[in-house]
Amino acid sequence: MSDGRGGWDRLWSRSLAVGGTTVGYDRLRRPDGERTGYGWIGDRGSAAVVARDGDRVVLIEEYRPRLGETVLSCPVGSVEAGESFREAGRRELREETGFAAGRAEVLAEHYPVAWLRKPRGVVFADDLSAGDRRLEDDEFVDVRTVPVADAVETVRGREPATGWTLLPLLLAREAGRL
């Protein structure tokens, strides 16, 4: 029976946790016996929300300091302690856009990149009702809506597109939600 590591052995691991984020380094023995190391970042999971309001998709536009760019994206945010991806998606949608989801479903769960030990849930939300936003102190976002038929191309046209937006929109389209 396989241990799921494909012959890789972890020799040791070191990490430092700061404010809910863990930065680590693993020293490993590869299947061919050579030694190597990999750095990683661990964090709570996050939820990216594809929200459909009738014939429109709800997106946000915000400046991302780490990227140095303004991006058009799906609402996205961390999963709080005890929350499911579905619950986090509903909460993030409400906080960032003011929309409350009557229905929400998890379309997929994935790791965005190999070095990030942070799973992301893709949540589809519809049956929306408008309300007040509850932005956090460090959030400065504008709500944008685009026609469902144009959502993927609109996001792709804002190069570079963000993975936390393009993948969720494509998954929602593949699932027949867009």
Q: What is the pLDDT of residues 30-87, one digit of tens each?
A: 999 999 999 999 888 999 999 999 999 999 999 988 889 899 999 999 999 899 999 9
Residue 43 CB partners (closer than 8 Å, separation 6+): 20, 21, 22, 78, 116, 117, 118
Residue 50 CB-density burial (10 A; 0-12 exposed, 13-18 middle, 19+ buried): buried
What pLDDT, in 10s, does the model give residues 104-161?
A: 999 999 998 888 888 999 999 999 999 988 888 888 889 999 999 999 999 998 878 8
CA distance 91 to 100: 8
Domains and CATH numbers, the chain: 9-42 (no CATH), 46-174 (3.90.79.10)
- E strands, 46-137, where? 46-53, 56-64, 69-73, 76-78, 100-110, 116-117, 120-129
Structure tokens at 3: 């241990």
